[in-house]
Structure 1
Amino acid sequence: GKLVSINILFLLENVVLVLVIPLLLALISKRLIQKNNHLGQGIMLKIAANQTVFLAIAIAAMFASQGQILIQRPDLLLKMLMPVLIFFGVNFWLGQLIGHLAKFSYEEVACFNCTTLARNSPIALAIATSTFGERPLIALALVIGPLIELPVMVLVSQSLLRLRLQK
């Protein structure tokens, strides 16, 4: 491998920006909602109703950050799509099988599946980027991964709902 120097202040700044600030905002929001329960319920209903909008904003932000690379190399999206879809499909059905064998309730199986898929998505990205013959473009993988993962998670949640209705 090749040694890369990392500016520790830059790293700390980004950790604060990406992890600490959102965590503090979440804690403050939670406290405010708990103090004003009637207000909090209204806000939560509005947030729940606009989840698709927030998802679209997140995807737009990811495209804005690395979209130029994706436009230059659209073939990479297609190369990553199949291994990621296979990975998520196998994980979904394994989660269903394990949930059935463990006699989980629907709610437990749904939670187990979604948690397993979300926690394993970095592994899926590693598998997909290793399918390239060339050196993987990490920035592009970080953009493409969620672009594939988020719609897959929507499909998983819809599949789980259909499976629930069939029982």
Structure 2
Amino acid sequence: MTDTTAPSPMGLFERWLSLWIGLAIIAGLIIGNVAPGLVELIAAAEVYSINLVVAVLIWAMVYPMMVGVDFAAVKDIARQPKGLVITLIVNWLIKPFTMAFLAVLFFDYIFAPLIEPEDAAQYIAGLILLGAAPCTAMVFVWSQLTRGDETYTLVQVSVNDLIMVFAFAPIVAFLLGVTEIAVPWETLLLSTILYVVLPLIAGLLTRRNLKSPQKIADFSASIKPWSVIGLIATVAILFSLQGEVILERPQTILLIAIPILIQSYGIFIIAYGAAFALKTPHRIAAPCALIGTSNFFELAVAVAISLFGLNSGAALATVVGVLVEVPVMLSLVAFANRTKQRFPAS
């Protein structure tokens, strides 16, 4: 199976994403100290708890990904359903709940002497948002680096996005409620519609209008840089607002990263181990494990900002997820490639 609309291999921006994020963090810290008036002006641009500046940037991130979603490819999945079953079980029945468990374990107990309770609640909320949003775009890069089946990966992402439309808000609301964090339902539903439903519809309409796979591929390549630009600008804004807190407590970044790292490697072991036990071909096994390990951090960042604000600890936690994702995923790609011979070829 092949798919001419799949994104090109990892480019300069994707390969060095953690570096760009690091530079955006430094720029944000500088801007927050040099031009606080500008930051306050951006923070004040809100309508119904939706920051308009960030909303534009998030759309710049999400829309290019949604153009790659093709539900027409789903018909091919019946021949090899194991990979999709593993992905769906891990993404929707395991991952959100293990992330919530780790967040509560670390910030309510292990890190309790180091973190104020109100800050801990915010970090828990941000980690829950990360855990409830499986990867949409970068997984195509990870799939190509492991020589995964491109069409099968596209199907997995498409089905996950469809489920996300209906499952993301209820799962987040449930987990936030269990952790006794107030859930503004209206804002959560509005964020889901704005950052998942509408971009998905826009992507599908774009595909229908372009029709030709080559035109779709060319269009996706032309708008792809806007996704990275939107992400970097959003990170800079977040850290310009969080600058004072971060400079006073730099260890906070490390504390947030620890449960994310444990979650990432743990989820990969579960999914990759299940694929190995079920004798799933490596070209399907590797992408299906990497989808669950990676996060739709663009959505997590957007919803954290909508629910808790630009300068919230929840928003900071989601950005830390962006910071650690690329090096973690590259290490898992290397491991998947080294263990390829242990899986059946077809």
Q: TM-score range by the shorter chain?
A: 0.5 to 0.7
> Aligned-pair distance for 1:60?
0.9
Which one of 232, 235, 242 corresponds to residue 69 of structure 1? 242
Amino acid at match of 2:242: I
Which residue of the partner structure matches residue 195 of structure 2?
18
Query: Aligned pairs, how many?
Result: 147
**Given the superposition, is the C-alpha separation of residues 71 and 166 from structure 1 closer, same or farther in structure 2, using an over 3 Å criterion?**
farther
Which residue of the partner structure matches residue 114 of structure 1?
290
Retained in 2: the 8 A contact 1:69–1:140?
Answer: yes
Which residue of the partner structure matches residue 273 of structure 2?
97
Identity %: 20
CA distance in 1, matches of 2:296, 2:183: 28
Amino acid at match of 1:20: V
Retained in 1: the 8 A contact 2:286–2:336?
Answer: yes
> Aligned-pair distance for 1:32?
2.2
Q: Secondary structure at the match of 1:103?
A: coil
Which one of 153, 157, 160 corresponds to residue 333 of structure 2? 157
Retained in 2: the 8 A contact 1:70–1:140?
Answer: no
**Given the superposition, is the C-alpha separation of residues 164 and 3 from structure 1 closer, same or farther in structure 2, using an over 3 Å criterion?**
closer
Which residue of the partner structure matches residue 261 of structure 2?
85
CA distance in 2, matches of 1:3, 1:106: 41
- Structure 2: unaligned runs, 5 residues or longer: 1-178, 298-311
Which residue of the partner structure matches residue 147 of structure 1?
323
Retained in 1: the 8 A contact 2:271–2:289?
Answer: yes
**Given the superposition, is the C-alpha separation of residues 120 and 100 from structure 1 closer, same or farther in structure 2, using an over 3 Å criterion?**
farther
RMSD: 3.7
CA distance in 2, matches of 1:7, 1:101: 40
TM superposition score normalised by structure 1: 0.64
Which one of 25, 28, 31 corresponds to residue 205 of structure 2? 28
- Relative to its length, the structure with more helix (as a share) is 1
> Aligned-pair distance for 1:63?
0.9
Question: 1:9-56, CA deviations, whole angstroms, 9 ceiling, x for partnerless residues?
Answer: x5565444312331222011211232x344234335x36xx86x4564
TM superposition score normalised by structure 2: 0.35
Retained in 2: the 8 A contact 1:106–1:164?
Answer: yes
CA distance in 2, matches of 1:21, 1:161: 36
Structure with greater contact order relative to length (CA < 8 Å, sep ≥ 6): 2
Question: 1:99-155, CA deviations, whole angstroms, 9 ceiling, x for partnerless residues?
Answer: 22111110221132123224799xxxxxxxxxxxxxx92221122223223442343
Which residue of the partner structure matches residue 60 of structure 1?
232
CA distance in 2, matches of 1:120, 1:41: 21
Amino acid at match of 2:199: P
